[in-house]
Structures are given as structure tokens and as C-alpha cells.
């Protein structure tokens, strides 16, 4: 280099630096074009080599896409940009990999479930219909699921909410640590274990029969740690300045929590609750152990066996006839739709209740 | 309305760490007292001991006495909630409640402390917003969220919120440090008006501000990092800025400070 440290010439005199800040860029449509080409070549290779599995075609295409992007970008734009594009394409491929199973699952369920899904199916129970015959419905299962999940939420939501408030706002020292630890342990309880626990206490020791309520208790055990965790995170997001502002106005702590902390975080808390409900809606094992399943409508969740949607799917599948397969798929579709609606409602509430910016 | 504060032998701790050591001073009623000193010397901690907000911090602990017109804030049986109703506070960063409208923010102190009639609330809110020089800017949008205001307006909203509960003393912890010069001027003018009704204590890093707004100035310092902060001297602002009795004060004010 011509400019050494000792000479200290002004910058304008020094060795020519790249004058322009502009660099050659691939056109905007390049990634899409590379993707199309890669998929086409992938399919071609698959056809020529006679590969059976479409998954292999896709993987070859994905690999070609990554390689092609990197090589092209390195040639035109330079190595740093090529690395950037490499990372971008990896993220895109992971996204596609994650979406493909989800989309195909929903597609499969919709196509197979729509066959027998109609007003009659939604508004009738199985009654005395033999399993091999077409007809029947899931009204009794919908009633059961709504009651069991509703009761579980009624038990778990207040306990979980208050626990989270204790942990964030009051909990200090050993008790708080112990509670946190047990919540963590509860998060990992397999649903069948929760079912067995209620089975041994409620049915075997206390001698009650199967009921929707027994199932709801097991579901509540599964739901509680989820509610505690999500609520805790939401309460921690409330800035401490707001608590201090309220306390400094001479507002007692409990009122501060009730009027400032909870309203600020209510959107997130509701979302967490809804997601916890969605999680337990699909539980089968505890329901199988504690609610048993039924073919007829039982509107009383406190007495007698009930049906629920996941259990209905399971039992119809077990029957093995074409008609019961159709019913299982339709019930699965209803279940997915139910969970999806819950999620949408949660998002709506979160958006509606989010602190307004007023701009 | 305004009350005198007598502090004697006050030390504050965070867990086992002593943050301020053995501070004694008197804050005169209906006047502005400024606290100056380098960062970390315990000005804000000391300010927070004056309305028992220090103990809100986990591990916060206080020794000594703070007399508010002869009543010890740290005496047995004193309710911190009652103390905070008497001694209001404005924080460094504007912190309006994000879920509440401008009206509700100002009314928050009253509403959260008990039920008030709508007409009473209207009067108090109007009076407080006028007192904070914000009324003309927000009177047409009282139902809009407070977080939609500019930073300076938000800080004045917080001052309105603090004076709405009619405290005896108003503590301000660097109220202008996040604001532009124009908003700062608005708040300094406001402090000048408010001191006719309240005892005001203000923490500031801005020497000119201390000189402009305060009647008395206290200089805090700490011997070394990790040592507790101490009160070096407190005197009339004019004297502190022209002829302080301690060399360290003069060094700090004139910028010759390590």
C-alpha cells in the first residue's frame, strides 16, 4: 500500500477506494426464478432416475435451490451477499417444510371429513345406530366436549391466574421457587398420568362413577400449568414503571394489580387462556379413562358417561367400517375447526384489548 | 397544604448494599429544593425514601427518620399507602397508564382510591390539567389514550395525575431528562407555579435547571464506586452556585470533577 502510517496524507490522496457504493445485484425476481428452476430440475432428476417418492423430488429441488442461489449470488454479488442469500433460502425452506405437513393435514381432513358433515351430523347423536351403518352424528360429542372443556377452564383458569399473580407480584423466597418448580413439573405430566390420578382418587377411592366432571378435573390438571406459565410471562411484560406510578399515587398494591397491571396485560392473558383451552380440547386419554364415551346425549356432566370429540374420533376409527371412518374424519374436521375458531377469537381479543397508541 | 420535611440520620440499603449513608436535611415548605450530584450517588434513592417507594424495590430497606410536619413516615403503624397519597411523585420517564384515556389517567389516583362522583371527577381533572398547563392542548380529546401524546405532554400528564390527588409534597425524579428544551421550559415554568401550593423536591443532572428553578440546592457525592452516597452540603441555591462552602461542590458545579 502506498499510504503508510507515517506519511498521514489526506484521505483524498490515498489509494483508490471503491468509488461507488453501488454493487451489482441479482434482479428481484431471481429467487423465485431459481426456485422454479430448482423444482423443475428436481422433478426431472426424479423422473429420469425413477425415484418413487415425491419427498425425494422435493428434497433434491430444495438442495438445488440452495446451491443455485449461493453460486449465482457469489458470482454476481460477491461472497458476503451470497451468504446472506444462503441464510434467507434456508429460512424459506424450513418454513415450507413446516407448512407442508400442516397444509396436507388440513387438506386431507377437509376432503375426507366434508363427505358426511352436514346439519344432520351436527345435530344428532349416534343413538342406537349400528356402527357399520351410515348416518348418526356428533351432537352428543360436541355437548360433552363443550361441557368438559368449560368445566376444566372454570377450575384451571382462576387457580392458574391467581398462582401467576402470586408468583410475579408477591412471590419471594422459597415458597415461590417451590411453586415455580412444581408448575414446571406439572407441565411435563403426560395426559394419561393425569387421567390415572383422577381415576384412582375420584373413581377408585371415592367411588364415583365416570362423568364429564371427572374428565374435566383431569383436563384442569393439564391446563393449569399452561395458564400459569403464559399468564406469568404476560405479567412480567408489564413495565415496572406502571406499578410504581400507581403505587406513588397512593393506590394499594392489590388495587394496582387489579386496575393497572391486569388491564394492561389482559389481551395476552386471554390469548394464553384460549390457547390452553385449545390444547386440552384435543386430549383423548383422560377422557377415555374417566368419561368412557357414550352413544347417546347426556346433558349432565356430573353423572354418567359422556362423549367427547377426540374420543368419538378414536372410537369410530376403532369400529373400522367405511361409515364410521367417514364419521371419524368429519368429527376430526369439526374438532380442528373448533380449535381454530378458539385461536382466532384469542387473536381478536388480543388485538382488541392491546394498549392503544392513539396515533 | 405544603409540609416541611425533616430528615435525620437516614440510610438506605439494597439488600446488604448501603446506597446512602446517614443523611440529615430539612426541606422547607412552599419551596423548590434541587438535588444534584454525579450518577449513582443516591439522589434518586434518597428521593424515593421520602414517600416510601424505596421499599417497593426488592431488598430495599431504610434506617432513620423522615418527619413530615413532626410525623415520622417510618414510624410504626404508618401506612405506606397513606404516605404516598400525601407525598406524590413524578418519574424520570413519562409513564401514563397505557390502557387509560387522558381523562382516566388524571382521574386514576382518585378513582383507584375510592368512588367519586362523575361531576367531581370532571372538576378535579380540569383543575389538574390546567395546573399542569396541559388543558388547552388536550381538552378536545380527553377520551383519547394518554400514550398518544408527545413526550413533553405525557410528562405534564403525569404531573397532572400526581397533583390530582392533592398531595402535600411533590417529588420529581429528573422530570425533564427525556424531554426537549421547549417541553423542559414548560415544565420548569410549571414548577415555578406549583411551588406556591406544594413543597417540591427535584432531582436533576442539569445545573442550569437547578439554578433556574430551585430555592435551595443539595449536593450529593460518593467517595468511590461501591461506597454509599452522602450529602455534601445543602444551602440556598444562590450560595451553592456562587460561593459553596465545600470545595467538592464547586469542582462539581464548575465541571472540574473527576
**What confidence tens digit (pLDDT) does each residue in A130-143 have?**
888 888 899 999 99
CB contact under 8 A, B148 and A263: no
pLDDT at A16 (0 to 100): 59
Farthest-apart Cα atoms in chain B, separation: 56
Nearest residue in chain B measured CA to CA from A352: B99
Cα three-residue angle B234-B47-B93, rounded to 5 degrees: 120
Name the burial class of residue B161, with classes exposed (0-12), middle (13-18) and buried (19+) by CB atoms within 10 angstroms of its CB.
Answer: buried
CB contact under 8 A, B53 and A248: yes
Arithmetic mean of pLDDT, A232-239: 94
User: Taking 90 as the threshold, does the pLDDT of residue B254 lie above it?
Assistant: no
User: Taking 90 as the threshold, does the pLDDT of residue A358 lie above it?
Assistant: no
CB contact under 8 A, A249 and B161: yes
Ordered DSSP codes for chain B: ----EEEEEEEEEETTEEEEEEEEEEE-TTSEEEEE--TTSSHHHHHHHTTT-GGGSTTEEEEEEEEETTEETTSTT--HHHHHHHEEEE-SS----TTSBHHHHHHHHHHHTS---HHHHHHHHHHHHHHTT-HHHHTT-TTSBGGGS-HHHHHHHHHHHHHHT--SEEEEESTTTTS-HHHHHHHHHHHHHHTTTSEEEEE-S-HHHHHHH-SEEEEEEESSTTSPEEEEEEEEHHHHHHS-SSHHHHHHHTT---
Residue of A241, A243, A250 to mutate, testing the B interface (most B Cβ within 10 Å of its Cβ): A250
pLDDT at A359 (0 to 100): 46
Name the burial class of residue A343, with classes exposed (0-12), middle (13-18) and buried (19+) by CB atoms within 10 angstroms of its CB.
Answer: middle
Q: Which three cell numbers stand for residue A122?
A: 351436527
* Chain B positions touching chain A (beta carbons under 8 Å): 51, 53, 56, 58, 81-86, 88-89, 91, 93, 95, 97-99, 108-109, 112-113, 144-149, 158, 161-162, 165
User: Taking 90 as the threshold, does the pLDDT of residue A173 lie above it?
Assistant: no
pLDDT range class, residue A244, cuts 50, 70, 90? very high
CB contact under 8 A, B147 and A355: yes
pLDDT at A135 (0 to 100): 87
Arithmetic mean of pLDDT, B155-172: 91
pLDDT at A1 (0 to 100): 43
- Cα A39 from Cα B66, distance rounded (Å): 77
Per-chain mean pLDDT for chain B: 89
Of A249, A356, A359, the CB nearest to B84: A249
pLDDT at A7 (0 to 100): 47
Chain B CB contacts of A357 below 8 Å: 145, 147-148
| Superfamily designation of domain A139-353 | MetI-like (1.10.3720.10)
Listed ranges A1-10, A215-224, B65-74; the one with the highest mean pLDDT: A215-224
pTM of the model: 0.83
Residue of B59, B81, B128 to mutate, testing the A interface (most A Cβ within 10 Å of its Cβ): B81
Of A247, A255, A259, the CB nearest to B56: A247
Arithmetic mean of pLDDT, A54-81: 88
Of A250, A356, A358, the CB nearest to B84: A250
Residue A359 contacts B, CB cutoff 8 Å = yes
A–B CB contacts, 8 A cutoff, strictly below? 89
User: Taking 90 as the threshold, does the pLDDT of residue B187 lie above it?
Assistant: no
Nearest-Cα distance to chain A for B102, in Å, is 11
pLDDT range class, residue A19, cuts 50, 70, 90? low
- Cα B175 from Cα B188, distance rounded (Å): 10
Task: Return the higher-pLDDT residue of A257 and A4.
Answer: A257
CB count within 10 Å of CB A48 equals 8
Chain A CB contacts of B145 below 8 Å: 355-358
SS (H, E, C) chain A: CCCCCCCCCCHHHCCCCCCCCCCCCCCCCHHHHHHHHHHHHHHHHHHHHCCCCHHHHHHHHHHHHHHHHHHHHHHHCCHHHHHHHHHHHHHHHHHHHHHHHHHHHHHHHHHHHCCCCCHHHHHCCCCCCCCCCCCCCCHHHHHHHHHHHHHHHHHHHHHHHHHHHHHHHHCCHHHHHHHHHHHHHHHCCCHHHHHHHHHHHHHHHCCCCCCHHHHHHHHHHHHHHHHHHHHHHHHHHCCHHHHHHHHHCCCCHHHHHHHHHHHHHHHHHHHHHHHHHHHHHCCCHHHHHHCECCCCCCCCCCCCCECCHHHHHHHHHHHCCHHHHHHHHHHHHHHHHHHHHHHHHHHHHHHHHCCCCCC
pLDDT at B111 (0 to 100): 84
Listed ranges A35-39, A158-162, B246-250; the one with the highest mean pLDDT: A158-162
CB contact under 8 A, A357 and B148: yes
CB contact under 8 A, B113 and A242: no
Nearest residue in chain B measured CA to CA from A246: B109
pLDDT at A17 (0 to 100): 60
List pLDDT tens digits, range B87-144: 999 998 899 998 889 999 999 988 877 767 888 899 999 999 988 888 999 999 999 9
Question: Residues of chain B with pLDDT > 70: what percent?
Answer: 98
User: Taking 60 as the threshold, does the pLDDT of residue B256 lie above it?
Assistant: yes
Residue A256 contacts B, CB cutoff 8 Å = yes
Q: Are A82 and A70 contacting, i.e. CB atoms less than 8 angstroms apart?
A: yes
- Cα A162 from Cα A166, distance rounded (Å): 6
**Least confident window among A68-72, A88-92, B178-182, B236-240:** B178-182
pLDDT at A349 (0 to 100): 85
CB contact under 8 A, B91 and A244: yes
CB contact under 8 A, B82 and A250: yes
Task: Return the higher-pLDDT residue of A186 and A12.
Answer: A186
pLDDT at A15 (0 to 100): 56
**Least confident window among A4-13, A35-44, B161-170:** A4-13
pLDDT at B257 (0 to 100): 62
pLDDT range class, residue A18, cuts 50, 70, 90? low
* Residues of chain A numbered 167-206 and touching chain B (CB < 8 Å): 172
Chain B CB contacts of A263 below 8 Å: 99
Q: Which residues pair with B180 in a beta bridge?
A: none
- Cα B29 from Cα B69, distance rounded (Å): 10
Cα three-residue angle B39-B162-B101, rounded to 5 degrees: 110
**Least confident window among A54-63, A86-95, A277-286, A299-308:** A54-63
Residue extent(s) of CATH 1.10.3720.10 domains in chain A: 139-353
Torsion on CA atoms A186, A190, A193, A197, rounded to nearest 10: 30
CB contact under 8 A, B145 and A251: no
List pLDDT tens digits, range B10-40: 999 999 999 999 999 999 999 999 999 998 8
User: Taking 60 as the threshold, does the pLDDT of residue A320 lie above it?
Assistant: yes
pLDDT range class, residue A247, cuts 50, 70, 90? very high
Cα three-residue angle B168-B171-B175, rounded to 5 degrees: 140
Residue of B99, B105, B163 to mutate, testing the A interface (most A Cβ within 10 Å of its Cβ): B99
Q: Are B55 and B39 contacting, i.e. CB atoms less than 8 angstroms apart?
A: no
Nearest residue in chain B measured CA to CA from A260: B97
User: Taking 50 as the threshold, does the pLDDT of residue A343 lie above it?
Assistant: yes
Distances (CA, A) of B25 to A100, B12, B215: 71, 15, 15
Of A250, A356, A359, the CB nearest to B81: A250
- Cα A212 from Cα A141, distance rounded (Å): 11
Cα three-residue angle B174-B178-B183, rounded to 5 degrees: 95
Residue A355 contacts B, CB cutoff 8 Å = yes
Amino acid at each position: 500500500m502506498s499510504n503508510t502510517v507515517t506519511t498521514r496524507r489526506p484521505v483524498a490522496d490515498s489509494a483508490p477506494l471503491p468509488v461507488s457504493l453501488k454493487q451489482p445485484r441479482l434482479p428481484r425476481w431471481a429467487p423465485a426464478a431459481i426456485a422454479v428452476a430448482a423444482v423443475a430440475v428436481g422433478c426431472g432428476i426424479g423422473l429420469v432416475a425413477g425415484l418413487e417418492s415425491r419427498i425425494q423430488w422435493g428434497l433434491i429441488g430444495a438442495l438445488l435451490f440452495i446451491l443455485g442461489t449461493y453460486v449465482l449470488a457469489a458470482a454476481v454479488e460477491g461472497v458476503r451477499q451470497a451468504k446472506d442469500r444462503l441464510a434467507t433460502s434456508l429460512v424459506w425452506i424450513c418454513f415450507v417444510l413446516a407448512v407442508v405437513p400442516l397444509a396436507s393435514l388440513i387438506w386431507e381432513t377437509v376432503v375426507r371429513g366434508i363427505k358426511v358433515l352436514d346439519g344432520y351430523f351436527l345435530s344428532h347423536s349416534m343413538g342406537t345406530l349400528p356402527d357399520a351403518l351410515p348416518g348418526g352424528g356428533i351432537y352428543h360429542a360436541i355437548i360433552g366436549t363443550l361441557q368438559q372443556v368449560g368445566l376444566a377452564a372454570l377450575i384451571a383458569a382462576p387457580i392458574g391466574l391467581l398462582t401467576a399473580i402470586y408468583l410475579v407480584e408477591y412471590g419471594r423466597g422459597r415458597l415461590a421457587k417451590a411453586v415455580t418448580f412444581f408448575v414446571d413439573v406439572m407441565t411435563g405430566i403426560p395426559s394419561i398420568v393425569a387421567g390415572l390420578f383422577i381415576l384412582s382418587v375420584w373413581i377408585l377411592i371415592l367411588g364415583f362413577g365416570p362423568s364429564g366432571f371427572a374428565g374435566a378435573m383431569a383436563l384442569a390438571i393439564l391446563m393449569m400449568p399452561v395458564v400459569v406459565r403464559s399468564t406469568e410471562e404476560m405479567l412480567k411484560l408489564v413495565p415496572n414503571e406502571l406499578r410504581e406510578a400507581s403505587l406513588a399515587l397512593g393506590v394499594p398494591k392489590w388495587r394496582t394489580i387489579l386496575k393497572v397491571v391486569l388491564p394492561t396485560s389482559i389481551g395476552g392473558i386471554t390469548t394464553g387462556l384460549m390457547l390452553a383451552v385449545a390444547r386440552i380440547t384435543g386430549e383423548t386419554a383422560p377422557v377415555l379413562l374417566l368419561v368412557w364415551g357414550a352413544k347417546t346425549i347426556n346433558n349432565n356432566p356430573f353423572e354418567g358417561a359422556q362423549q367427547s370429540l377426540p374420543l368419538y374420533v378414536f372410537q369410530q376409527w376403532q369400529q373400522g367400517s367405511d361409515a364410521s371412518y367417514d364419521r371419524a374424519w368429519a368429527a376430526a374436521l369439526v374438532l380442528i375447526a373448533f380449535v381454530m375458531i378458539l385461536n382466532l377469537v384469542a387473536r381478536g381479543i388480543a388485538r382488541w384489548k392491546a394498549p392503544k397508541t392513539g396515533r | 397544604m405544603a409540609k416541611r420535611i425533616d430528615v435525620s440520620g437516614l440510610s438506605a440499603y439494597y439488600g446488604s448494599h448501603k446506597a446512602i449513608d446517614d443523611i440529615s436535611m430539612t426541606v422547607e415548605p412552599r419551596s423548590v429544593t434541587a438535588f444534584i450530584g454525579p450518577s449513582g450517588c443516591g439522589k434518586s434513592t434518597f428521593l424515593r425514601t421520602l414517600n416510601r417507594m424505596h421499599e417497593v424495590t426488592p431488598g430495599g430497606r431504610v434506617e432513620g427518620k423522615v418527619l413530615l410536619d413532626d410525623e415520622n413516615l417510618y414510624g410504626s403503624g404508618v401506612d405506606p399507602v397513606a404516605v404516598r397519597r400525601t407525598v406524590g411523585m413524578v418519574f424520570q420517564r413519562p409513564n401514563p397508564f397505557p390502557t387509560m384515556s387522558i381523562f382516566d389517567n388524571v382521574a386514576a389516583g382518585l378513582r383507584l382510591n375510592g368512588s367519586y362522583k362523575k361531576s367531581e371527577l370532571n372538576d378535579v381533572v380540569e383543575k389538574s390539567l390546567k395546573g399542569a398547563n396541559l388543558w388547552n392542548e388536550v381538552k378536545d380529546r380527553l377520551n383519547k389514550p394518554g400514550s398518544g401524546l408527545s413526550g413533553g405532554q405525557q410528562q405534564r400528564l403525569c404531573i397532572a395525575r400526581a397533583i390530582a390527588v392533592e398531595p402535600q409534597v411533590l417529588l420529581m425524579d429528573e422530570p425533564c431528562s427525556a424531554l426537549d428544551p421547549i417541553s423542559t421550559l414548560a415544565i420548569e415554568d410549571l414548577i415555578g407555579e406549583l411551588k406556591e401550593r406544594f413543597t417540591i423536591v427535584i432531582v436533576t443532572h442539569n445545573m442550569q435547571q437547578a439554578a433556574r428553578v430551585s430555592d435551595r440546592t443539595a449536593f450529593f457525592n460518593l467517595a468511590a464506586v461501591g461506597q454509599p452516597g452522602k450529602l455534601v452540603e445543602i444551602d440556598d441555591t444562590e450560595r451553592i452556585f456562587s460561593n459553596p462552602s465545600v470545595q467538592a461542590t464547586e469542582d462539581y458545579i464548575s465541571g472540574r470533577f473527576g
